[in-house]
Structure 1
Amino acid sequence: MTLASRLAAGETLFTAWSSVPDTITVEILARQGFDAVTLDMQHGGHHEDSVVRGIAPIAAVSRHAVVRVPVGRFDMASRALDFGAEAVIAPMVNSVADARRFAAAMKYPPVGERSWGPTFAMPRAGIADAAEWLGSQNAATISFAMIETREAYALLDEILGVPGIDGIFVGPSDFSIAWTGGAQMNPGLDDMMQAIADIADRTRAAGKHAAIYVIDPALCGSFHAMGYRLFALGNEQRYITLGAQQLLGVARGEIG
């Protein structure tokens, strides 16, 4: 099953977040029980070479590969798909023009302007027939536009209305900075939770997917109740920190 089909069926899914541009590290993440692995090119260290190589170990264990491209790099969205990504997250989509450019890069005609060249993606998906690929991929790939600013929030319905935009991904850290006019970075800010809920509600009402980055996993229940179904949790540094703290805590407790 694809990520798109699982979300369409109403499943709740979790993606690991990869910032380290190392194939072995990505392989380890892909084996930790997450449904997907997101390779972050915006704030993480991933680049084109690490993305094309990093998707292979994700696919090898039947996990879903997601890529977050750098701001404005809609050309990289097409490349990520050609490398075998099932979904692309585009940060800072702050205008309808941004959304249209992103959708154009993500979808084949007549919806968009994606050019042909799935050199890696077709064999990685186990599809050999070009007609089958062309006919299936607009529905099988997911374009997540990130809502992180007041400007984007004000245009939410217009962004959702762009053909080829499949979902919204909320970045609560940046959204909190925008929400407070630069006064705070607080992804759990109570004052913005109604807006976070509103984004999910309007996204779901438009028949599209609602996803969110979660700093505190204790918030997942609240976000799920709002309508979010894809959750990004932590990153390698967080996973290592939590694991090391747990191991050291037990070891020192036994000695101590």
Structure 2
Amino acid sequence: MSLASRLKAGETVFSAWCNLPHTLVMETLCRTDFTAFMLDMQHGPFDTQSVLQSVGIIQSAGKHTVVRIPVDRFDMASRALDFGAEGIIAPMINSVEDARRFAASMKYPPVGERSWGQLRGRPASYGAGGSGGYLTEVNAKTLAFAMIETRAAFTALDGILAVDGIDGVFVGPADFSIGWSNGAEVDAGTQAIIEPLREIAAKAHAAGKLCGIYAPNAELAKRFTGLGFTYVPVSVDTAYLQLGVQTLLAAIQS
């Protein structure tokens, strides 16, 4: 089952957030119960080579890969898809025009302008390789998430959701809190953004689109799913390592 089919069926997917571009780290994370992995190229040190290697490891484990590309690097969106990623998160989509450019890089014609250049083999569930049926299947199963993290993006939300080829929106709550407070605070858990977050999720569902959000911890993951978000990367791999050590030492010392 693809990530797209899981989310479109209404499943809530809790994902790993990955900043450590090392094959052994990825192999270890793939032995956990996470079913999806988000590789961060925007603020994390993932590059083309480490994305290529990591996608292969995640695919071999039978799990799903999402890549957050750097700002305005729509060329990397199509490359990550060629490597086998199932979804792309594009930061700083602040207008309908930004969303259209992103969608164009993600989808084959007639929806977008993605060029043909597969690197990894096609999933067996897709149509005949190279056929129009295959292109239609790929367009349906590769997810384009536009990040909503500024007041401008929030204002343009209806138009962004209406763009053909945008499958959903993804909120960076820390950045959204900065924009919402006009730089007065950075707090992913602030109560000030609860109602706009609820509105983002509601509008996405009403438009037949998906909605995701980053949750720094388990408490916020529960809060955000309660608001209607269904793709939720939780914490980050560096924190998983620290938490494991702290839990072990606390157990020894108790």
**TM bracket (short chain):** over 0.9
Q: How many Å separate the matches in 1 of 2:27 and 2:110?
A: 36
Could you tell me which residue of structure 2 aligns to residue 146 of structure 1?
147
Letter in 1 for 2:224: F
Could you tell me which residue of structure 1 aligns to residue 58 of structure 2?
58
Q: How many Å separate the matches in 2 of 1:118 and 1:235?
A: 30
Letter in 1 for 2:248: L
Q: How many Å separate the matches in 1 of 2:16 and 2:150?
A: 24
Q: How many Å separate the matches in 1 of 2:135 and 2:182?
A: 44
Any stretches of 5+ residues in structure 1 without a counterpart?
Answer: none
Q: How many Å separate the matches in 2 of 1:23 and 1:237?
A: 15
* Alpha carbons 1:15, 1:36 under 8 Å: kept: yes
Flag as ranges the 4+ runs of structure 1 deviating above 3 A: none
Could you tell me which residue of structure 1 aligns to residue 231 of structure 2?
230
Q: Deviations over 1:4-36 (max 9, x none)?
A: 000111111011011111122112112211110
Q: How many Å separate the matches in 1 of 2:159 and 2:137?
A: 26
Letter in 2 for 1:51: V
Could you tell me which residue of structure 2 aligns to residue 176 of structure 1?
177
* Alpha carbons 2:169, 2:210 under 8 Å: kept: yes
* Alpha carbons 2:221, 2:234 under 8 Å: kept: no
Could you tell me which residue of structure 1 aligns to residue 12 of structure 2?
12
- Tell me the CA shift for residue 224 of structure 1: 1.7
Q: Deviations over 1:36-56 (max 9, x none)?
A: 011100000100010111101
Could you tell me which residue of structure 2 aligns to residue 252 of structure 1?
253
Q: Deviations over 1:153-200 (max 9, x none)?
A: 000000001110000000000001111111111001101110011000
Aligned-residue sequence identity (percent) comes to 50
Q: Secondary structure at the match of 2:232?
A: strand
Q: How many Å separate the matches in 1 of 2:198 and 2:121?
A: 35
Any stretches of 5+ residues in structure 2 without a counterpart?
Answer: none
* Alignment of 1:220 onto 2:221: yes
Question: Number of matched residues?
Answer: 251
Pick which of 24-33 and 88-97 moved more: 24-33
* Alpha carbons 2:216, 2:236 under 8 Å: kept: no
* Alpha carbons 1:39, 1:67 under 8 Å: kept: yes
Letter in 2 for 1:185: V
Q: Secondary structure at the match of 1:130?
A: coil
Letter in 1 for 2:36: A
